[in-house]
Amino acid sequence: MSETLLSSRNLAFELYEVLDAEGLTQRERFAEHNRETFDAAISTARSIAEKYFAPHNRKNDENEPRYENGQAILIPEVKPAVDAFLEAGFLNAARSFEAGGMQLPTLLSQACFAHFQSANAASTSYPFLTMGAANLIESFGTEEQKQRFLQPMIDGRFFGTMALTEPHAGSSLSDIRTRAEPAADGSYRLKGNKIFISGGDHSLSENIVHMVLAKLPDAPAGVKGISLFIVPKFLVNEDGSLGARNDVLLAGLFHKMGWRGTTSTALNFGDNGNCVGYLVGKPHQGLSCMFQMMNEARIGVGMGAVMLGYAGYLYSLDYARERPQGRLPDSKDPSTTPVAIIQHADIKRMLLTQKAYVEGAFDLGLYAARLFDDTTTLATDTERKQAHELLDLLTPIVKSWPSEFCLKANELAIQILGGHGYTREYPVEQYYRDNRLNPIHEGTHGIQSLDLLGRKLAQNGGAGLKQLIRLIAETGARAQKYPSLTALREPLEQLVNRLQSVTIGLLTDLAQGKVNSSLANSALYLKVFGHTVIGWRWLEQAIRAEEGLAKDDAADAAFYKGKLQAARYFLTWEVPSCHHELAILEARDDTCLGMQDGWF
């Protein structure tokens, strides 16, 4: 049977041939693990994803949560799926043994999670959001908060959300209006409205722990005056039992284009003046707490986009192999048998493009997850700091590149299925609709581009960028061993050289205060930077494929040849396209910036 969630062979290639997952077991934290425990976790994830998550993916779409008597009602299939996920321990896969986790590397935890993201993006969101909220409390909460709120989340009894966005402010968090007034008992009373809160209501868990951004009475204006609060749906007594319903009202549900199984809620905090919250971390430091957790969340979002692309790619590949239609251009004799459409050049193009996008982004997501492991388990402070700097730099790409190009992959999957792809009788159109959320949430595409160009590049004196350039050069040097890779390596080198020069120019302009003009075309910069990173990862994959081919294992030769062809596609069909955007960036072209409201 064809695989539907991801290619196991490709995952093994990533883990054991590209990213050296086994090397991680040399580190103290992962010393109990080995390839067998890794593979067992992956195998369990695949089984549960196939058995409990995939079967109701379409049903989630067709039966979005209903608003009834102030509550969100989900289809009954979600809870058993989430329960199976919890029971198998995936919520705490990366958490330490003593905290009740599997103490797996994030690389492995993400590899396991990818199966669920591919099977059912919507149902997977509930544990995903819970992990994010739990990590926030784990990093910044007091011991009491951990005992009262984190432990029940680890135990799977409480779920979590992230409540940032407000109706009037959107991405502009500096303008949020939710207020938090100190109460006599050391807690706070919150008042405000939040929208687009995913997982904001459901009955999958005993309680829901909202992580809410709000402003204290003495808060400075802007982002430096934002604080972080725990606001539970039900209050929690000192003994851990549930208390009264908190003053958090489900004001309504949003009805989305896709990803319909995840409730998107409007929440009112403190309509009755009695919404209890608890400050997490220091006053006015809420956004920086959020940002410190953002890397992991954004890897997760990026991988979510990858996996929707992956699911569509595999489905359309299978379809193209099974569907006979038409003949090749040089053999139009209508009495001959039609060929499978995978034989048509344009179908090959659409499949190879998907493969290059999906497997390139998959590699990057897992690379970032491994880098996250480096930030916590490398031997020295310096090494961990370096890993952090590189991960910080890559995070906008890890989040945004799959959101754009694996969405494009979904569009191609629809096209391969033709009229069938456009119907809801086949799954590919849902993958597109689900994936369309990813360039919007967790920082829109535009926000990511400003984060990269306006913040991340220059951070720590450009330390992350210097590392990246060095790593790309190292990969290039290793590629020189293979003459067959020259044609793949050279376009990347040309791109990196020019990108460096453009980057220096833009950073110089920024330093000189030419802020608006330097940032105006940041979306183009994001594309070029992303293609550079993915191009690098494809060159790395190509080297590993050459190494694999050299082993002369006939059974694997086709796999490695496919890798080389996809690398060739990306490095010769995609990478050189970036010179167009670089020319615009070099010229500081103001065509878009100069457009006036009244001229539209």
Q: Which residues are catalytic?
A: 442
| Sign of the torsion formed by the C-alpha atoms of 37, 43, 45 and 47 | negative
Closest among 81, 126, 85, 133 to 109, alpha carbons compared? 85
Q: 493 or 589: whose CB is closer to a second copy?
A: 589
Least separation in angstroms between residue 563's CB and a second copy is 8
Which listed residue (494, 559, 582, 588) binds a second copy by CB under 8 A? Answer: 559
What is the bridge-based pairing of β-strands 158-163 and 207-214? parallel
- By CB under 8 A, the residues from 537 to 556 that bind a second copy are none
Least separation in angstroms between residue 228's CB and a second copy is 18
Which listed residue (507, 573, 586, 588) binds a second copy by CB under 8 A? Answer: 573
Which listed residue (441, 466, 478, 588) binds a second copy by CB under 8 A? Answer: 441
Q: 203 or 423: whose CB is closer to a second copy?
A: 423
Per-residue CA distances from 117 to 170, 518, 545 (Å): 26, 37, 27
Least separation in angstroms between residue 455's CB and a second copy is 11
Residue 351 touches a second copy, criterion: CB under 8 A:
yes
Residue 568 touches a second copy, criterion: CB under 8 A:
yes
Residue 164 touches a second copy, criterion: CB under 8 A:
no
Those residues with Cβ within 8 angstroms of residue 476's Cβ, 6 or more apart along the chain or in another chain? 489, 492, 493, 539
HSE value, Cβ hemisphere, 13 Å, CA-based, for 375? 18
Least separation in angstroms between residue 172's CB and a second copy is 4
- State the Cα–Cα distance between residues 265 and 200, nearest whole angstrom: 5
Q: 150 or 520: whose CB is closer to a second copy?
A: 520
Closest among 387, 402, 362 to 110, alpha carbons compared? 362
- State the Cα–Cα distance between residues 515 and 499, nearest whole angstrom: 19
Task: Pull the structure tokens for residue 385.
Answer: 């700091």
Residue 520 touches a second copy, criterion: CB under 8 A:
yes
Q: 27 or 348: whose CB is closer to a second copy?
A: 348
DSSP state of 342: G
Residue 512 touches a second copy, criterion: CB under 8 A:
no
- Please report the DSSP string for 285-304 in residue order: BHHHHHHHHHHHHHHHHHHH
Q: 306 or 352: whose CB is closer to a second copy?
A: 352
- By CB under 8 A, the residues from 445 to 484 that bind a second copy are 445-446, 449-450, 454
Count the site residues for a second copy by CB under 8 A: 104
Least separation in angstroms between residue 560's CB and a second copy is 9
Least separation in angstroms between residue 212's CB and a second copy is 17
Residue 284 touches a second copy, criterion: CB under 8 A:
no
For residues 449 and 526, is the Cβ–Cβ distance under 8 A? yes
Q: 41 or 320: whose CB is closer to a second copy?
A: 320
| Sign of the torsion formed by the C-alpha atoms of 264, 266, 270 and 271 | negative
- By CB under 8 A, the residues from 168 to 227 that bind a second copy are 168-172, 174-175, 195-196, 221-223
